[in-house]
Amino acid sequence: MLRNYLKIAYRNLLKSKGYAAINVIGIGVAVCICLFLFLIAYLQLTFDAFHTDSNRIFQTYFANNDPESARKSGTMPIPLTPALKVEYPEIEAAARIIAGRKSLIEYQGKYFDKLVTLTDPDFMKVFSFPLLKGNREAVLQELSSIVLSENTAKAIFGNDDPIGKSLKIGNEGNQKQYIVTGILSDAPYNSTIQYDALIRVENLANYQSEKDNWSNNSHLVFVKTNPQVTQASFENRLKSFAKKYYAGVIETLVKKGVKPDERGDLFTLRLQPLANVHFARDIDGGKGTPIALIYVLLGIGFFILLIACINFINLSIARSFTRAKEMGVRKSLGALKKQLFIQIWSESTIICFIGFGVGILLAFSFLSEFNAQFNAKIQLEYAFQPGFMVVMLFLFVLVTFIAGGYPAWQMIKFNPVEVLKGKVSLKRPGLLRNSLLVVQFSMSCLLACATIIALQQVGYLRQQPLGFQKEQVISIPVGNYTNGRQVLQRMRNKLANDPAIVSVTGTGVNLGKGKDRVSSRSVVGFTYKGRKVATDWLLVDYDYLKTLNIKVAAGRDFDPAYPSDSVNRLVITESMANAMGEMNPVGLLLGDDGDTTSTKSQIIGVVPDFHLYSLTSESRPITMHISNTETIHYIFVRVTPQSLVSSMDKLKNVWKEVAPQAEFMGTFLDKNIDDWYQDEEMMSQVFSLAAGIAIFLSCLGLFAVALLVIEQRTKEIGIRKVLGAGLPNLVIVLSKDFIKLILIALTITIPLAWFLMQKWLDSYTYRIEISAWIFAGVGASAIIIALITVSFQTLKAALTNPINSLKSE
């Protein structure tokens, strides 16, 4: 019986190739896009979920209720973790994580640039990354121990066994020797913790001077609690910890009259579940991936799939008129409703199966282009994970049930007597059919509005003044193969007499995203005359302000003529002066009120505020300093406008002379700044792709509805023509119902789009105001597209000879 159903279904589909092709293409495109979007969402939603007992792993953070600087900070001081482990038996394990820049690993004269993460032995207890070689309890027991990731071990040692072999980490003249004690599996993409190698945190250069310093926050801390401990109870216990070690901070807040938060705390230590770390937007300026964006991607995927299903339903109903007599004959010969339902549904199942297959093939074909366009990291291997396969199987069953079941149910309700007399009709205007059409265009218009607003916001962010001149500046990452300070001096010497070079400087932080894709931030917090101040601590070199064309508002710039400028001298921004509460801070000494041991630094200059980081990040006051010991990571070179084209090649040649071991990765600063907004750009591109696909599928659906309606009204059109109706009149009569549906869709979409995009824009300090012209333009475009889509069938029906329409009567 099943074989017979499938054979008949196959023959019917061959007779209706156009109908089958439209449905297969619609479903295939929808499945391809859904597969991409669902895989992105799946990877994001499963971040860190692979760790054993992940529900017992937490990141610590400070909650400060000071209204002047109310914030949550995830960076901790060095002595915090040892103190927690001693004082709280609820902690099963705790590990500090310092994963900064890549470091240079040397083995037998070969150099490898790898991410070396500093941590504690408890790292192996807190996290469950598989250990491929070594003893989990002992791999980090010695200060000279190093654990390598699988790929790093293969890159350094090839097929040799690395256990027990020694290697060195650091630049020439500043190297330490380590013994390989273990091989850890590579951290997956959906892991917050990334590493190429692990060493003990005690190997930090300034560890001894910082091990008792509670005011310098520099790293993340993760704790694993005992099974019987709840987050709420442990956080309540941590209140006494804050009062013990941060009594001065709390006392200052009390003096300022700060009121406790809803949990009765002024300043305390709290816990963030590991599952929320990747999505945290309220800790350290909101760097996490917004969870709302992931749900938006899921929603877009379901919208597109739903539109494809609606098309399937409408096309199936339109085709039911051509198969009405077939159904009537089958019923008159004794076919049961159940048999007819299975027969029609089997055809739909075949189309859905082929459509899903086409979608998977399209996904395979366009995966690399999708990853490149949207900077995604997805692999189709993830689609074969059990959880994801269950989701896709459920979607297949749902699509076949919705798209195939409803039309089959409608067709088996035909009265065989009426059918054989040629009296077949569906209720007009068809509430469900028209509702589906409204839903389709509502989704399409919503995505179109979101696309335009997202593009405008990205453009607005890129056009905002940054406080410095980004044009004609080339940024060069130094890397780890050479000493940045030495390379900076060599470049200055080489380019000193070149008329095409305006200035050369160095810094510890890049502006924008360069080719190394590294972004670092050093924030220093202290108390100045009773005020809590937090500032970006920026390492610069001479001519930094000149290179970026930043003018001095008060005082002076760093000057080589003053040797003391490289020791305890500062240039601050105007917002830093405001945070200090000083109108004229030049000449004042800056340092923490409670720190009487360290030397304070003198402010020699004030500059207007400028943006050191993206406008999507929290903006802080900036304090610049020069140091002869801290590492220069980036070199900035300002060139003349006339030499802009040739300057990159010139600097590349100079780089080969001053840093022959290091790769040249120079980029123009304005390009780096544009890359700040890659996430927003990706979001707008996803919206653009989704809107285009949704509009395409909606037009297919509208075409199906037009076919259905005109099929029903053929004789009405003939009568109108006989009674003298002209072509324009007939076009208006046949099109007005569609325009009404589009207007209903716009009535629903515009308020919803305005509300949702206002919520999205509210997360930006710098944002556009939504213009009514956006909605007017989308509405007009939707009406025009709808008219063009239905015009073919409308004109065809209007030009048909009325005799042909009425002769069956």
> If you count them, how many residues does the chain have?
809
Q: 404 versus 117: which is more confidently predicted?
A: 117
Residues 640-661: what's their mean pLDDT? 85
Whether residue 134 is found in the same domain as residue 262: yes
The closest alpha carbon to 686, from 396, 288, 371, 382, belongs to: 371
| 282 occurs within a structural domain | no
pLDDT at 343 over 80: no
Give the integer Cα–Cα distance in Å for 243 and 247. 5
> Total domain count for the chain?
3
Of the ranges 500-509, 516-525, 610-619, 679-688, the best mean pLDDT one = 500-509
pLDDT value, residue 399: 77
Residues 548-575: what's their mean pLDDT? 90
Of the ranges 313-317, 356-360, 435-439, 543-547, the best mean pLDDT one = 543-547
* Lowest-confidence segment of 10-19, 144-153, 170-179, 362-371 by average pLDDT: 10-19
* Lowest-confidence segment of 256-270, 363-377, 436-450, 794-808 by average pLDDT: 794-808
Whether residue 335 is found in the same domain as residue 254: no
Q: 205 versus 160: which is more confidently predicted?
A: 160
Three-state SS at 383: helix
pLDDT value, residue 284: 63
Query: Which one of 620, 651, 676 terminates a domain?
Result: 676
Whether residue 643 is found in the same domain as residue 694: no
Going by pLDDT thresholds of 50, 70 and 90, the confidence category of residue 663 is: confident
Residues 352-401: tens digit of each pLDDT: 888 888 888 998 888 888 887 777 777 777 777 777 788 778 878 877 77
Q: 710 versus 306: which is more confidently predicted?
A: 306
Whether residue 500 is found in the same domain as residue 554: yes
**Residue 634 phi, psi (nearest 5):** -140, 145
| 48 occurs within a structural domain | no
| 378 occurs within a structural domain | yes
* Lowest-confidence segment of 405-414, 488-497, 655-664 by average pLDDT: 405-414
Q: Which residues contact 640 (CB under 8 A, 6 or more apart)?
A: 472, 499, 500, 501, 502
| 125 occurs within a structural domain | yes
CB 63 within 8 A of CB 270: yes
* Lowest-confidence segment of 113-127, 242-256, 412-426, 687-701 by average pLDDT: 412-426
Residues 400-434: tens digit of each pLDDT: 777 766 666 766 665 555 555 555 555 444 676 67
* Lowest-confidence segment of 65-69, 267-271, 418-422 by average pLDDT: 418-422
Give the integer Cα–Cα distance in Å for 399 and 409. 15
CB 355 within 8 A of CB 21: no
pLDDT value, residue 153: 93
Whether residue 448 is found in the same domain as residue 535: no
pLDDT value, residue 715: 72
Query: Which one of 654, 676, 698 terminates a domain?
Result: 676
Whether residue 716 is found in the same domain as residue 633: no
Residue 75: domain span: 54-277
pLDDT value, residue 285: 52
| 537 occurs within a structural domain | yes
Q: What's the angle, vertex CA 325, arms to CA 320 and CA 330, rounded to 5? A: 105
Structure token digits, residue 34: 């859904």
Residues 472-477: what's their mean pLDDT? 91
Residues 103-118: what's their mean pLDDT? 86
Give the integer Cα–Cα distance in Å for 444 and 549. 46
Structure token digits, residue 239: 């209140």
| 169 occurs within a structural domain | yes
Q: How far is CA 268 from CA 87, 108, 247, in A?
A: 16, 49, 10
**Residue 320 phi, psi (nearest 5):** -65, -25
Whether residue 368 is found in the same domain as residue 499: no
Going by pLDDT thresholds of 50, 70 and 90, the confidence category of residue 7 is: low
Q: Would the pTM of this model clear 0.85, i.e. be above it?
A: no
Give the integer Cα–Cα distance in Å for 89 and 85. 7
Whether residue 67 is found in the same domain as residue 214: yes
Whether residue 455 is found in the same domain as residue 573: no
Whether residue 642 is found in the same domain as residue 499: yes
* Lowest-confidence segment of 514-518, 608-612, 651-655 by average pLDDT: 514-518
Structure token digits, residue 553: 């508002």
Q: Where are the beta strands (DSSP E) in 161-303?
A: 166-169, 176-184, 197-200, 217-225, 267-273
pLDDT at 809 over 50: no
Going by pLDDT thresholds of 50, 70 and 90, the confidence category of residue 226 is: very high
Whether residue 765 is found in the same domain as residue 702: yes
* Lowest-confidence segment of 364-378, 575-589, 740-754 by average pLDDT: 364-378
pLDDT at 798 over 80: no
Residues 771-793: what's their mean pLDDT? 84
| 341 occurs within a structural domain | yes
Q: How confident is the prediction for the chain on average, in pLDDT?
A: 81
| 466 occurs within a structural domain | no
Query: Which one of 277, 301, 329 terminates a domain?
Result: 277
The DSSP H or E segment spanning 356 is helix 337-374
pLDDT at 69 over 60: no
Give the integer Cα–Cα distance in Å for 668 and 555. 30
Whether residue 347 is found in the same domain as residue 418: yes
CB 709 within 8 A of CB 737: yes
pLDDT value, residue 429: 42
